[in-house]
Structure 1
Amino acid sequence: MSDKPIVKEYSNGEVTVIWKPESCIHSTICWKKATGLPDVFQPSTKPWIKLEGGTTEEIMKQVDKCPSGALSYRLKDEQNNVVSANIVETLPNGPLLVYGNITVKHAGSEESKVNKVTAFCRCGASSNKPYCDGTHVKINFSD
């Protein structure tokens, strides 16, 4: 048995959406009708990502909203989805979002290279530190 995290990829030929379920905080931003693309992201079906439900531009814009970084994308012939600017955003009553290419140095010598958006825990209760796992909602964390 492998301890390697699950990573799934879905492609429409122009864009490949990468999903890392272990990073998902179930914000529902991707699929709820008010904020998401319900024709693309359908959590009650398998496979749950159906790229034919939206344009490449719509899909990229929606994936950019993922607060945990569980969803990312790369364009055809692109090795990495490069973000040129680093931006830090504090979500009210939620995680610290870091947009851009960063290296996270963990205890010891382990490093993780991440891109797009990474959600860091601010409440101190995450079981996946330093990353947010959505526990702030359960404990009613507030600024």
Structure 2
Amino acid sequence: MKDITKKYSNGEVTIVWKPEVCKHSEICFHGLPEVFDPKAKPWINADGSTTDRIMQQVKKCPSGALTFYLNDEADKATEITASSLSETVPNGPRLIYGNVLIKNAAGEETPFHMVTAMCRYGSSSNMPYCDGTHITNGYKDTQ
């Protein structure tokens, strides 16, 4: 798969999009359609909202396909800490925030930073990661 990275900036913040990582959860454009519009070209309009709202929305991306950096901090070194947080999305994946090393049954390791979305339903075609299949299958939590 081709490693594509696209960047969109409003002068203060740069949104980084890696399409090959995207799992199409649609959280981005349902939460901030004035910035993320899948029908527009380009689909990201970094001037569509404030820097704070853009950062808040990008942080919700479950796959990590969307990230951001503040332009005035782009040259500063980033320190990675070992803290993490796990959160269950109602009728959705388990989100793991932080630095995570996922090891599959074959022993292959994949490092993740920011957010990782793990499938809770066993229906993903990209196990153990969420690919949004639960949405099309209409899966609902039983409580």
TM-score by length of 2: 0.80
Give the C-alpha shift of residue 84 in structure 1.
6.7
Change (3 A) 1:59 1:83: farther
Aligned amino acid, residue 58 of structure 1: R
Q: 1:45-74 CA distances to partner (integer Å, 9 max, x unpaired)?
A: 111111111222111011112223221112
Larger helix percent: 2
Give the C-alpha shift of residue 105 in structure 1.
2.2
Of the structure 1 ranges 82-91 and 49-58, higher mean CA displacement relative to structure 2 is found in 82-91
User: What is the percentage of aligned positions where both structures have the same residue?
Assistant: 54
Give the C-alpha shift of residue 89 in structure 1.
0.8
Instruction: Work out whether residues 15 and 56 of structure 1, in 8 Å CA contact, stay in contact via their aligned partners in 2.
Output: yes
Corresponding residue pairs, total? 138
The aligned residue for residue 98 of structure 1 is 96
Change (3 A) 1:68 1:111: same
Aligned amino acid, residue 73 of structure 1: F
CA RMSD of aligned residues (A): 2.3
TM-score by length of 1: 0.80
- Give me the whole-angstrom Cα distance separating, in 1, the residues matched to 2:86 and 2:32: 25
Structure 1 gaps of 5+ residues are none
Structure 2 gaps of 5+ residues are none
- Give me the whole-angstrom Cα distance separating, in 1, the residues matched to 2:126 and 2:39: 25
